[in-house]
Amino acid sequence: MQETALQPGYMSGFGNGFETEALPGALPVGRNSPQKCPYGLYAEQLSGSPFTAPRTTNERSWLYRIRPTVSHWSEFRKADIGLWRTAPAPEVEVPIGPMRWDPIPLPEGQVSFLEGIRTITTAGDAATQAGMGTHVYLITRSMVDEYFYNADGEMLFVAQQGSIRLWTEFGIIDIEPGEIAVIPRGMKIRVELHDGPARGYICENYGGAFTLPERGPIGANCLANPRDFLTPVAAYEDKDAPSKLYVKWGGSLWVADIEHSPLDVVAWHGNYAPYKYDLRRYSPVGPVLYDHADPSIFTVLTSPSETPGTANVDFVIFPDRWLVAENTFRPPWYHMNVMSEFMGLIYGVYDAKTGGGFVPGGMSLHNTMLPHGPDVDAFEKASNVELKPHKLEGTMAFMFETRFPQRVTAFAAQTESLQKDYGAYGRKLNKHFNPNKR
């Protein structure tokens, strides 16, 4: 490994055509496939979209690597996929009611990224490139001489506890709680524990690649600003060692013995690349006079479907912000939604659930067309509080919202972390109706 490659360095921008080289002159100039590449490297294209996709959604990168991926290939055998599930996964009947979980505890023993995935829900069908899986990751040891890529979807990491280092083919990404990272489909990684143990959430997106939502009348600024997205500079390993390459393909995990690190990309250029983003940089826009707006105003990233305005997945956050609306019930309203809502809490308190039970590291599921809203504590407080400007501080909840109903896995339905009494929270709401008093 190069001395200079040990600390992550980043380039700013979303979806840019980046170019970066870990050795001077490693990138061919003016062409993608010279007869011989500099330093004896191999050229390889990684296509994240069909070749013919329109320019706005066309994604590919050119990698200049010590060995092409095909030479990392050898006899694959089935590996134990543990508790990772892929849609469709009809393991249990999905309850017709809200579900909520306490944090899944970190295991006592040594658990790598691949061993510590716990799928909570699946939606759609990975084989048709539609839907998503939601997972919790639990990591107590780094991957050593173990590498992985996911052919079934891109992975959005949401760090909740501890920090991890994602060694990718494209360079190094560090994330800590409050930050996210996106690893596009097909990109090789090794996940290292930086400051652990680590827990977080993953949205495995089988559909259209995450992109920034349109801003419409908001204009050219606010929400997630493109300059705050960071893509790593090239960094490579020239390492010969008995290693394992794991591939998730078609919902199964496969493994092959390889003799060298596949993170051997010395230079690359293109717009198909991993990135990170600090959620605390999000610039929220909201109601400045009255009413509570739809949560789509807080969309960080969206995975579009073929139907305009109907997301395969929206990644939405509920960050620190001022509440100023006059004569308004300020928390989320009671509602039913054709989209299904998986929520997690990174830190702090979520304003619709102030009565306890939705804690950092926990999660909830409000499925397609199932009613939900503030708990009794949040309702009573927000209905009676003096409506001064009020700042929600030290809070970061998020939602993976998909057009598809979500199925829970057998693990999620049977874990001790499942709260047995959550389904009844709505029944605690008091009757206030009085026909004699307006």
Ligand X SMILES: O=C(O)Cc1cc(O)ccc1O
Span near ligand X by CB under 6 A; candidates 75-83, 109-117, 335-343, 387-395: 335-343
At 412, phi and psi to the nearest 5? -65, -30
Burial string for 272-303 (b: 16+ CB within 10 Å, else e) reads: bbbbbbebeebeeeeeeeeebeebebbbbbbb
Q: Which is nearer to ligand X, 97 or 197 (CB)?
A: 97
d(CA 120, CA 406): 9
| 390 annotated as ligand-binding | yes
- 3-class SS string, 133-164: EEEEEEECCCCCCEEEEECCCEEEEEEEEEEE
351 lines the binding site for Fe ion (CB under 5 A): no
DSSP 317-347: EE-SEEE--SS---SPPPB--SSEEEEEEEE
Among 179, 341, 351, 401, binds Fe ion (CB under 5 A): 341
Among 204, 228, 341, 375, binds ligand X (CB under 6 A): 341
d(CA 222, CA 212): 12
Interface mask (CB under 5 A) for Fe ion, residues 114-143, using x and -?
A: ------------------------------
Among 143, 352, 382, 412, binds ligand X (CB under 6 A): 352
Looking at the DSSP bridge assignments, the partners of residue 418 are: 101
Report the nearest approach of ligand X to the CB of residue 359 (Å). Answer: 15
Is 194 one of the catalytic residues?
A: no
Question: Which of Fe ion, ligand X, none binds 352 (CB below 5-8 Å, type-dependent)?
Answer: ligand X
Span near ligand X by CB under 6 A; candidates 113-121, 144-152, 156-164, 333-341: 333-341
- Confirm if 238 and 191 have CB atoms less than 8 A apart: no
Q: Which is nearer to ligand X, 85 or 372 (CB)?
A: 372
Q: Which is nearer to ligand X, 249 or 329 (CB)?
A: 329
Q: Which is nearer to Fe ion, 179 or 341 (CB)?
A: 341
344 lines the binding site for ligand X (CB under 6 A): no
Span near Fe ion by CB under 5 A; candidates 121-129, 171-179, 255-263, 341-349: 341-349
Report the nearest approach of ligand X to the CB of residue 135 (Å). Answer: 20
Helical (H) or strand (E) element with 377: helix 376-384
d(CA 398, CA 317): 4
The maximal CA–CA distance of the chain, rounded, in angstroms, is 87
d(CA 68, CA 264): 9
Which member of 72, 292, 366, 432 is catalytic?
292
| 260 annotated as ligand-binding | no
- Let me know how long the chain is: 438
319 lines the binding site for ligand X (CB under 6 A): no
Span near ligand X by CB under 6 A; candidates 109-117, 149-157, 175-183, 331-339: 331-339
For 252, the token pair is 């199964």
Report the nearest approach of Fe ion to the CB of residue 399 (Å). Answer: 7
Closest residue by Cα to residue 292 from 259, 325, 244, 322: 325
At 161, phi and psi to the nearest 5? -145, 140
| 269 annotated as ligand-binding | no
Binding residues for Fe cation: 335, 341, 372, 390
The residues that touch ligand X, with contacts defined as CB under 6 A, are 295, 332, 335, 337, 341, 352, 366, 372, 399
**Binding site, annotated residues:** 335, 341, 350, 372, 390
Give the residue numbers annotated as catalytic, written as ranges.
292
